[in-house]
């Protein structure tokens, strides 16, 4: 072993003693703080002086004082201990995340891209993180959050911030009119709600975020739609529209298979048409319960912080891809 490395190995166990002695300049006080006998502190100083090759402590009346050599070493000792403490915090944090389980409630429409992308980004940093996922209507997601069944809720719109809840927006995306590929509006650059006043409408059930948004759109247009079907899943809604059984209003479907029409599909297929209404947009956000400092599990806090601070950037490409196709 090289002499310098051997000296480091001999000195490392003595660093906490030297650090505390630098603060107290008192052998008895150092021993009490560290919970060791005074003789242990005295021997540690003697060993450290021998390894360094110069005295680190000298008697001064009834007390002791650090030598210039010891005072020169102290800042380096403190820096080394601080770096080690920081490393321990990282390791403990990682351990907490690995042991913790993050419960997320989310609406069905976020299961294909939004939530998987966020979880993937988090797991790349914390491979041991575990998730419990629950999907359903917006109201059900927020009820699970309020009851404590879930730690976080991904909904559109997010729950308004209040006494017990906090929220953060992640992105906005347009709502579009979805029609059969042979529908009279399929080739239009835009459409108005008035254009589908007499059309059968395929809606999501009450309690779903999209239902509340479409209800607001029809209220603005001044009429109630003629609901032909209610579904609990946007995929089923697109399927019904693809079969020509009605029209609907949904967020962009990206390059989903339903947009590709072929003889084998039995004439199934759908087309999205931009809506002219300023209300035809939804804001996606994350909600969580307010908690006292230190009460939130580390795993939940770290995931929440990543989603809130980095989520908009992480999801920007996905949103752009879905909107442009």
Residue 303 near residue 132, CB atoms below 8 Å = no
What is the Cα–Cα distance from 152 to 101, expressed in whole angstroms? 12
Residue 199 near residue 295, CB atoms below 8 Å = no
The residue among 22, 97, 101, 31 whose CA lies nearest residue 65 is 22
Residue 88, judged by CB atoms within 10 A of its CB (0-12, 13-18, 19+), counts as exposed
Domain boundaries, the chain: 3-92, 97-172+283-324, 176-279
Q: Is 3-92's fold the same as 176-279's? A: no
Enumerate residue ranges in the chain where pLDDT < 50.
1, 257
Give me 250's structure tokens. 């949904």
Predicted local distance difference test score (pLDDT) of residue 1 = 41
What is the Cα–Cα distance from 234 to 202, expressed in whole angstroms? 10
Give me 186's structure tokens. 């399929």
Positive or negative CA dihedral for 107, 111, 117, 119? positive
Strand order in the sheet with 270-274: 248-250, 176-180, 270-274
Enter the CATH code of domain 3-92.
Answer: 1.10.10.10
Is it true that domain 176-279 has CATH number 3.40.190.10? yes
Number of helical H runs and strand E runs in the chain? 10, 12
Give the long-range contacts of residues 59-63, CB within 8 A, separation 24 or more: 63/25, 63/26
What is the Cα–Cα distance from 107 to 33, expressed in whole angstroms? 54
The CATH superfamily holding the domain 97-172+283-324 is: Periplasmic binding protein-like II (3.40.190.10)
Predicted local distance difference test score (pLDDT) of residue 91 = 64
Q: Where are the beta strands (DSSP E) in 120-269?
A: 130-135, 152-155, 165-174, 176-180, 200-204, 226-231, 248-250
Positive or negative CA dihedral for 233, 237, 240, 242? negative
Residue 231 near residue 237, CB atoms below 8 Å = yes
């Amino acid at each position: 072993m090289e002499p310098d490395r051997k000296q480091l190995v001999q000195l490392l166990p003595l660093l906490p003693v030297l650090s505390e002695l630098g603060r107290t300049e008192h052998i008895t006080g150092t021993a009490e703080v560290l919970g060791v006998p005074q003789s242990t502190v005295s021997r540690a100083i003697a060993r450290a002086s021998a390894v360094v090759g110069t005295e680190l402590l000298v008697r001064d009346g009834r007390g002791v004082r650090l030598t210039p050599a010891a005072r020169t070493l102290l800042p380096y000792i403190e820096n080394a201990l601080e770096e080690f403490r920081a490393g321990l915090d990282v390791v403990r944090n990682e351990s907490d995340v690995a042991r913790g389980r993050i419960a997320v409630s989310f609406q069905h429409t976020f299961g294909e891209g939004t939530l998987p992308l966020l979880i993937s980004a988090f797991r790349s940093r914390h491979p041991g993180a575990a998730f419990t996922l629950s999907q359903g209507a917006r109201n059900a997601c927020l009820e699970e959050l309020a009851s404590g069944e879930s730690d976080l809720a991904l909904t559109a719109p997010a729950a308004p911030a209040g006494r017990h809840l906090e929220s953060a927006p992640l992105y906005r995306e347009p709502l579009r009119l979805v029609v059969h590929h042979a529908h009279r509006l399929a080739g239009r650059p835009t459409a108005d709600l008035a254009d589908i006043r007499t059309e059968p409408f395929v809606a999501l059930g009450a309690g779903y975020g999209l239902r509340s948004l479409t209800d607001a759109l029809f209220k603005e247009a001044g009429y109630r739609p003629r609901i032909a079907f209610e579904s609990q899943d946007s995929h089923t809604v697109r399927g019904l529209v693809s079969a020509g059984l009605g029209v609907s209003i949904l967020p962009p479907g990206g390059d989903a298979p339903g947009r590709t029409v072929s003889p084998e599909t039995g004439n199934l297929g759908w087309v999205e048409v931009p809506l002219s209404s300023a209300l035809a947009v939804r804001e996606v956000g994350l909600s969580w319960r307010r908690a006292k400092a230190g009460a939130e599990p580390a795993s939940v806090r770290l995931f929440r912080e990543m989603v809130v601070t980095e989520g908009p950037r992480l999801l920007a490409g996905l949103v752009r891809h879905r909107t442009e196709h």
